[in-house]
């Protein structure tokens, strides 16, 4: 029987626990635009007491520079309007340009705006703003999350901002191949060991990803292989996966700890592996608990891998089907 992406998506589904991240983002989405901006400011500054993102490099900031300069030269009212446009995904000039940014350029843009807010150059919250009870509800929900989950909420809200340019052609700016590289914070692990797993494709995948060697990682997939990032649809085919990896997987430190491998009658293998991933934005200060669910075809190639954010650290041990 031929492997299908749909059936691959369901492997180990009965070991999965719903993540509190989408629920928190759903609460955020229900807020009005000014409440959303206020929530982000409070959440970000509150979080910043324990963890702060690393400053983006000059090369990355340069990509957002023209928008940032325009904003700096605006009146406080105009600045607030720009942020409202971004949060409401309006079709306005800056919101449109932002919509073409890659994920990391979006994050760098907001990092710098946050700095300008702390310096008092940009107004963080609309003048005369009165906090509504809904904001406190989302803040309370956010406080219950672990740091890896909190930064995922922040990241997803930032990624969703700006005019939706997906119908305006395939280009994101900059092109994935022109993305500046993240400097690696820790030496990449050269030999991967995962308790319970010896599958070569999986070990090579982690090794390649920890070296940002995406060509190597891609060569481990089948021609119709797919990668499903957390809370997203599968990305299908080596070309699309490579573009995605260059844009969003650079500089990650992957530390798989344990896993299980189940041989299937057709010669394919299903593996579930749990462990910790660090993003270059926060380095060693934030660990994200995740699972990889791999479907390896009988020829030893990756047909499918899903990356799931875990609901809690207990889930790191939640490998067996019951």
Q: Which residues contact ligand 45D by CB under 6 A?
A: 37, 40-41, 44, 53, 107, 110-111, 113-114, 117, 124, 151-152, 154-155, 158, 209, 229-230, 248-249, 252, 254, 277, 279, 281, 288, 290, 307
Given CA atoms 213, 215, 221, 225 in this order, what sign does their dihedral have?
positive
CB closer to ligand 45D, 212 vs 322? 212
Cα dihedral 140, 230, 232, 47, rounded to 10, equals: 30
Contact (Cβ atoms closer than 8 angstroms) between residue 316 and residue 289: yes
CB closer to ligand 45D, 69 vs 167? 69
CB closer to ligand 45D, 40 vs 271? 40
Nearest approach in angstroms of CB 294 to ligand 45D is 10
* Nearest residue to the partner ligand 45D, using Cβ: 114
Residues with Cβ within 8 Å of 68's Cβ and at least 6 positions away in sequence, in order, are 61, 109, 112, 113, 116
Nearest approach in angstroms of CB 296 to ligand 45D is 15
Nearest approach in angstroms of CB 46 to ligand 45D is 10
CB closer to ligand 45D, 53 vs 180? 53
Nearest approach in angstroms of CB 36 to ligand 45D is 7
CA angle 144, 149, 155 (to 5 degrees): 125
Measured between alpha carbons, how far is 238 from 219 in angstroms, rounded to an integer?
8
Nearest approach in angstroms of CB 309 to ligand 45D is 7
CB closer to ligand 45D, 174 vs 275? 275
Residues with Cβ within 8 Å of 95's Cβ and at least 6 positions away in sequence, in order, are 82, 85, 86, 89, 161, 162, 163
Given CA atoms 204, 205, 211, 213 in this order, what sign does their dihedral have?
positive
CB closer to ligand 45D, 124 vs 174? 124
Nearest approach in angstroms of CB 37 to ligand 45D is 5
Nearest 5°: phi and psi at 58? -60, -40
């Amino acid at each position: 029987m031929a492997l299908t992406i749909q059936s691959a998506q369901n492997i180990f589904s009965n070991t999965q626990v719903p993540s509190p991240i989408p629920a928190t983002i759903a609460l955020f989405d229900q807020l009005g635009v000014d409440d959303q901006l206020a929530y982000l400011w409070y959440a970000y500054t509150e979080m910043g007491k324990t963890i702060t993102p690393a400053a983006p490099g000059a090369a990355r900031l340069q990509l957002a520079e023209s928008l940032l300069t325009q904003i700096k030269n605006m009146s406080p009212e105009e600045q607030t309007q720009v942020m409202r446009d971004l949060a409401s995904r309006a079709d306005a000039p800056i919101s449109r340009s932002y919509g073409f940014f890659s994920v990391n350029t979006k994050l760098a843009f907001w990092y710098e705006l946050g700095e300008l807010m702390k310096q008092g150059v940009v107004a963080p919250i609309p003048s005369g703003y009165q906090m509504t009870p809904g904001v406190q509800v989302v803040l309370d929900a956010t406080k219950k999350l672990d740091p890896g989950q909190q930064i995922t909420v922040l990241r997803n809200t930032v990624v969703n901002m700006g005019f939706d340019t997906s119908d305006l052609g395939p280009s994101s700016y900059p092109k994935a191949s022109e993305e500046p590289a993240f400097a690696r914070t820790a030496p990449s692990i050269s030999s991967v060991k995962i308790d319970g797993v010896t599958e070569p494709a999986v070990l090579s995948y982690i090794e390649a990803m920890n070296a940002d060697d995406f060509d190597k990682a891609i060569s481990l997939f089948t021609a119709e292989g797919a990668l499903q990032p957390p809370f997203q649809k599968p990305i299908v085919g080596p070309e699309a996966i490579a573009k995605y990896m260059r844009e969003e997987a650079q500089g990650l430190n992957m530390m798989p700890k344990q896993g299980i491998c189940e041989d299937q009658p057709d010669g394919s293998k299903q593996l579930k592996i749990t462990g910790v991933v660090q993003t270059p934005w926060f380095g060693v200060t934030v660990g994200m608990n995740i699972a990889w669910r791999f479907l390896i075809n009988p020829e030893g190639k990756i047909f499918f891998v899903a990356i799931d954010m875990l609901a809690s650290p207990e889930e790191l041990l939640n490998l067996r089907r019951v």
